Amino acid sequence: MNRRELIKGMSMGAALGSFGFIQKPLPILAQAEESYKKGSAPLRITRVRSILTAPRSARLCVVKVETSEPGLYGLGCATFNQRAKAVAVAVDEYLDPFARNRDADNIEDIWQTAYTSSYWRNGPVLNNALSGLDQALWDIKGKRAGMPVYQLLGGKCRFAVDCYSHASGDDFQELEDSVKRDMERGFRHIRIQLGGYGSLNLSKNPDFRGAGFGRSDDRHMDAYPYLKSTPKMFEHIRDKCGDQVELLHDIHERIEPRDAIKLLKELEIYRPFFIEDPIAPEANDYFRQLRQTTTVPIAMGELFNSPHEWVGLMSERLIDFIRVHISQVGGLTVARKIAALGEWFNVRSAWHGPGDVSPVGHAANAHLDLAINNFGIQEATRFNDAEFEVFPGSPKMKNGFMYVNEAPGWGVDIDEQKAAKYPLPEFQGYWKPIRRNDGTQVRP
């Protein structure tokens, strides 16, 4: 008997019973009463552990949550490329003992209690660990229900996830070629960057290097060449690639707030789809001025970890796209609330989706994208063969759209033997310092 027949039978039985037509409960009602007593079969968390692997170059951290039902487990993304091993310790040494023997069904309760279990909270290491646990519980919930996670979130609002690609080049011609290649691959939205973020290394011999300040591999960026070349870059690409393609650009927070305000005003005539991270999170208060000065759509938030960073920007309608990295903010449980907040304030989603998100994390992005009305755009990455080998069921790209498969949960598995073939690189990774000509550090 399916669920619909069961409910129909229950309401008929209740109606008849209330008029006194029957003495004994219908068999179907008896069955329902039995099921009220039992609830769904209890499912306990038996182990939470991290799996580190690097099938491309990023240091991926995936969390596996095992349960009291043999063979039933879930996967979640906890990737923090620059501090991968710190997240693994947070998972294995702290979240595992916290979560063991808890009811795997109670995702919200586990999220809330795990979030405050360190007392101090909202940092990237602990949030990523929490995301790994949280996303794995959603995966388990989907497997229990026999449904992909997007179905648990209300079903599809669109047939697939429209994505933007990354085009870049060291000069205008290289960039133009890169944009045209992506247009041929079917992308309708393309992010354009000239010479890396902030046109890095425009001068090979900054004075700080000559003075022996910092280390010889510290990088150099001065704001003026970047501020001068970026409007010209937009002009060139609009001229050569037409009006139809949507153009995006990431400032990556490397300039002063006042320069960002001036730059966005200059870019207005090229109709960017959005300009990303114009201001560092520490200078969030400048968004009011930025907003009053320009109509260019603003995307913000890949560095955010804490609700204090995004709630005001969204509720005051100071940004157009919320760009958080779902594992950095603590997983699907918090990201779907961010999406709901955005719906009331006309803020659309643009979840961070670079190479240092595991395929499990990209699947989480895509399932949420499918299920929310205020979806904006999704950043796409291209998985290599090794990633498809380690993570069977990873989302696939076609014609600029991302597709998830219809398997229950995220639809993505991990082959742990193959994952072990790709250990983390020796160098554990950090953002190399970027400096102005005089050696002053620039926020990345």
Contact set with Mg ion (CB under 5 A) = 250, 302
Distance of CA 304 to the CA centre of its chain: 11
- Minimum CB separation of residue 287 from Mg ion in Å reads 16
Catalytic residue chosen out of the listed positions 197, 226, 270, 422: 197
Task: Count, in order, helices (H) and strands (E) of the chain.
Answer: 17, 15
- Closer to Mg ion by CB, 253 or 387: give it: 253
Only one residue has tokens 């910092």, namely: 214
Alpha helices per DSSP H over 211-331: 223-241, 257-267, 287-293, 307-315
DSSP state at residue 431: P
- Closer to Mg ion by CB, 5 or 282: give it: 282
- Minimum CB separation of residue 250 from Mg ion in Å reads 4
Catalytic residue chosen out of the listed positions 252, 325, 362, 367: 252
Q: Coil, strand, or helix at residue 108?
A: helix
The tokens for 19 are: 């008029």
Q: Cβ atoms within 10 A of the Cβ of 304, count?
A: 24
Distance CA 439, CA 222 (A): 10
- Minimum CB separation of residue 164 from Mg ion in Å reads 11
- Closer to Mg ion by CB, 182 or 302: give it: 302
- Closer to Mg ion by CB, 134 or 302: give it: 302
- Closer to Mg ion by CB, 104 or 260: give it: 260
Task: Please list the residues that pair with 163 across neighbouring strands.
Answer: 378
- Minimum CB separation of residue 323 from Mg ion in Å reads 7
Residues in contact with 45: Cβ distance below 8 Å, sequence separation at least 6, in sequence order: 65, 66, 67, 68, 99, 100, 101, 102, 103, 104
The tokens for 381 are: 């990455």
Q: Catalytic site residue 197?
A: yes
Q: Among all residues, whose Cβ is closest to Mg ion? A: 250
- Closer to Mg ion by CB, 66 or 302: give it: 302
DSSP state at residue 283: G
- Contact criterion met (CB below 8 Å) for 63 and 136: yes
Active site residues: 197, 252
